[in-house]
Structure 1
C-alpha cells in the first residue's frame, strides 16, 4: 500500500504569471506590507508581537537594496539540467538522479571557479533560504527554477514521495530539421509543507516558481532574521498529537 503511494505522481499545473519576476516580487512585498500595516498578519496564527514590525523591516530592507535582493534570489534559483547528462543508467532511481545532478553541478562550479558560480542551485543547501512570508500572511515554502525559453505548455511538474520533478521539453525546427531539447530537475520536498497545496507559476521572463504553505500544527516555532529568511523548528511526534493545530505555532523573531 505504501509502495503504491510512493509511486503515484501528482501533476501540478503550470500557470502563467502575467508579469516579470521583479514585478511579481515587488507586488508581493507591497501586499505583505499592506497586510502587516492592517494587522492581518497576526490573525493567521498566534504570532509574537514583534512579528509585524520584523516583517516591515524585511520589506523596507528588500526595497532599499533592490538590486542586491534580485541578485540573491536569482543566484538561488535551480537550473534545469540537460537530460542526456545524467539520465544514463539511472532512469528508475530518483535518489541516484538527485545525487548525479549535484555531482554535475559541482563539476560545473569547479570549472567556473567559486567566484563565478552561475545560478545552478544545489539540493544540499537550498532549504536555508526556502521559507518566506507569502502575501496571505502565512509562511510558505518557495523554490524557483530558471526556465527561460520555455512556455507553460513545455513544462511538466509532478510531485511524488516527497519529491518534485520539473521536466521541460521543447522542439524547434531549423532548416527543415526538427531538434528536441529536454531538461529536468528533481528536488526533495520537506515534510513541513502542505504537499497537496503545491502551486506552480511561470513569469514572463522565465522564472518558474513553486510554493506551498507550511503546516501550522507540526512546527514548534518559526524564526525570522532581518533578511527575511525563516527557519522552522519541528515538533516531536508526541507534541504534534498533544497540541491542537489552532494553538500549535508560535513565531520567534531573531536578529542576526
Structure 2
C-alpha cells in the first residue's frame, strides 16, 4: 500500500478541478453562416494582443514582458493558429475583446454547394448572331471570288 505522502504532489482540491472545466483556453464553433473562436486572454492588455489572417488561418499572438505578481515575476506569451473552414471569408474576419478578457473572433461563411456545381446563366444576344450570318456570306463571296480568279 502506498502512503499518503507519496500522493501529496497529486492532490488537487475540488475547487481547482472545477476551474479546469471552466477554463478550457479556447472554444471553436462552426455554424452554417459563421465561424467563431472564443479565447481567454485575460492576462494580456489589448495592445499586447494581435490577430491576423494568413494562408487560410487566423493567427492570434499575445506577449507581455515580466510583470510582478503574488509569487514573483512572470512573463507570458502564446501563438495560436486556427484553420479557417472552407467558405470562411478571410477579408471579413473581425475580433472583439470583452471587458472580462474574452477575445471573440468571427469569420462569416459564404454558402458552399457540396457538389461543387453551379448553374451558369446563358445570356442571349441578337446582334451577334446576325453578324455571324453576314460574315459567313462574306466568306462565301470571297471564296467565289477566289474561284473566279
TM-score (norm 1): 0.34
Indicate yes or no: 2:137 matched with 1:242: no
Q: Which residue of 2 aligns with 1:130?
A: 30
Q: Pairwise mapping of residues 1-256 of structure 1 onto structure 2 (< 5 A)?
A: 117=21, 118-121=23-26, 126=28, 129-131=29-31, 139-174=33-68, 180-216=75-111, 218-219=112-113, 235-237=114-116, 239=117, 241-242=118-119
Unaligned 5+ segments in structure 1 are 1-111, 133-138, 220-234, 245-256
Judging by fraction of residues, say which structure has more helix: 1
Structure 1 vs Structure 2 CA RMSD? 3.0
CA pair 180-121 structure 1, distance change in 2 beyond 3 A: closer
CA pair 211-243 structure 1, distance change in 2 beyond 3 A: farther
Please list the CA deviations of residues 88-139 of structure 1 after superposition, one character each: whole Å capped at 9, or x if unmatched.
Answer: xxxxxxxxxxxxxxxxxxxxxxxx98xx6441457xxx4xx3227xxxxxx3
TM-score (norm 2): 0.55
Q: Is the 8 A contact 2:26 2:40 kept in 1?
A: no
Judging by fraction of residues, say which structure has more strand: 2
Unaligned 5+ segments in structure 2 are 1-15, 122-149
Report the number of matched residues.
101
TM-superposed deviation, 1:161: 1.4
